[in-house]
């Protein structure tokens, strides 16, 4: 199968891509249960949100069927398949927008690829048994994120001597593993994993050093939308973190991030339009 290429999923203009989050979960930290009706994912609700994102200018949809917030309970593979794969097929039928699947499960990777997915966005960086081989076999682009442990216990592992060096070295190791498994260099993106097994000090250090990750030569994905770090910085509750999220999105793009994963697509697109206009003037 032809190898993926992350650049084919990004805007041809060279600007950063806005990745809109669609969590098909009952318990995600910001939008858990939003797309459920009578206890099941609702195609109508999902399509309505996806349409709004598309109109607002989303470049990529990111579909997740397992909450990975701190303390989240694990989800069975069968449940994740049931949540994710029909949504991938639904979106590919209605939109000409790339679809990323936020999963660590080899079975979900395989079935999502068959349904038309374009990218695997794995918070566990393809470390589950069989994930590397499955991702390689799909030919899809992959995003490798840094974390430690499982969601239920990861914040207890937030201890580093040098968080920037340790996260960078981990991602380098995972890139090497991908290449050895047959995943092409151009098919790889990386994500420092803000908020995953990291406290506020770690997150800020990584943000200050974001250009270090850009210098690795892979498209960098940044996902900080509505996260705890924004709340801790501003003293804001979950529903009042838009301004902080937009500020971080802007700073990330200014440092070279190529994909910004967000809940608030329209506002993020507006901010990046302003940045582009100023840079091009």
Instruction: State the CB neighbour count (10 A cutoff) for residue 104.
Output: 21
3-state helix, strand, coil in the chain (%, to 5): 45, 15, 40
**227 labelled catalytic:** yes
Encoding tokens for residue 69? Answer: 């917030």
CA–CA distance, 146 with 139 (Å, rounded to integer) = 22
Angle (CA) 246-260-9 rounded to 5° is 150
**83 labelled catalytic:** no
CA–CA distance, 88 with 86 (Å, rounded to integer) = 5
Encoding tokens for residue 241? Answer: 């973190």
List 227, 228, 241, 258, catalytic entry? 227
Give Cβ neighbours of residue 136 (< 8 Å, ≥ 6 apart): 178, 181, 182, 183
Encoding tokens for residue 213? Answer: 């990750």
CA 102 to chain centre: 7
Instruction: State the CB neighbour count (10 A cutoff) for residue 249.
Output: 26
Q: Is the dihedral of CA 254, 257, 259, 265 positive or negative?
A: negative
Buried-exposed string 80-100: b where 16+ CB fall within 10 A, e elsewhere: bbebbbebbbbbbeebebbbb
- What letter does residue 70 receive in the DSSP assignment? T
CA gyration radius, the chain: 17
Question: Which sequence positions are flagged as catalytic?
Answer: 227, 261
């Amino acid at each position: 199968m032809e190898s993926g290429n992350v650049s084919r999923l990004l805007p041809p203009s060279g600007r950063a891509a806005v990745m809109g989050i669609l969590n098909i979960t009952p318990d995600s930290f910001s939008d858990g249960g939003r797309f459920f009706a009578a206890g099941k994912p609702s195609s109508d609700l999902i399509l309505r949100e996806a349409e709004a994102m598309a109109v607002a200018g989303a470049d990529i949809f990111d579909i997740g069927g397992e909450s990975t917030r701190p303390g989240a309970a694990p989800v069975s593979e069968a449940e994740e398949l049931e949540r994710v794969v029909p949504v991938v097929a639904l979106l590919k039928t209605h939109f000409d927008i790339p679809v990323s699947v936020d999963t660590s499960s080899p079975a979900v990777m395989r079935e999502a690829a068959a349904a038309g997915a374009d990218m695997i966005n794995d918070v566990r960086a393809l470390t589950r048994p069989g994930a590397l081989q499955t991702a390689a076999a799909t030919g899809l682009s992959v995003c490798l994120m840094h974390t430690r442990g499982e969601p239920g216990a990861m914040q207890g592992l937030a201890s580093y001597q040098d968080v920037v060096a340790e996260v960078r070295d981990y991602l380098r190791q995972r890139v090497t593993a991908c290449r050895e498994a047959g995943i092409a260099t151009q098919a790889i993106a990386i994500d420092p994993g803000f908020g995953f097994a990291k406290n506020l000090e770690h997150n800020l250090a990584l943000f200050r050093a974001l250009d270090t990750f850009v210098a690795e030569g892979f498209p960098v994905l940044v996902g900080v939308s509505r996260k705890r770090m924004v709340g801790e910085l501003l003293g804001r509750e979950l529903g009042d973190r838009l301004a902080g999220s937009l500020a971080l999105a802007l700073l990330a793009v200014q440092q070279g991030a190529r994909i910004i994963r967000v809940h608030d697509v329209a506002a993020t697109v507006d901010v990046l339009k302003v940045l582009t206009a100023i840079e091009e003037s």
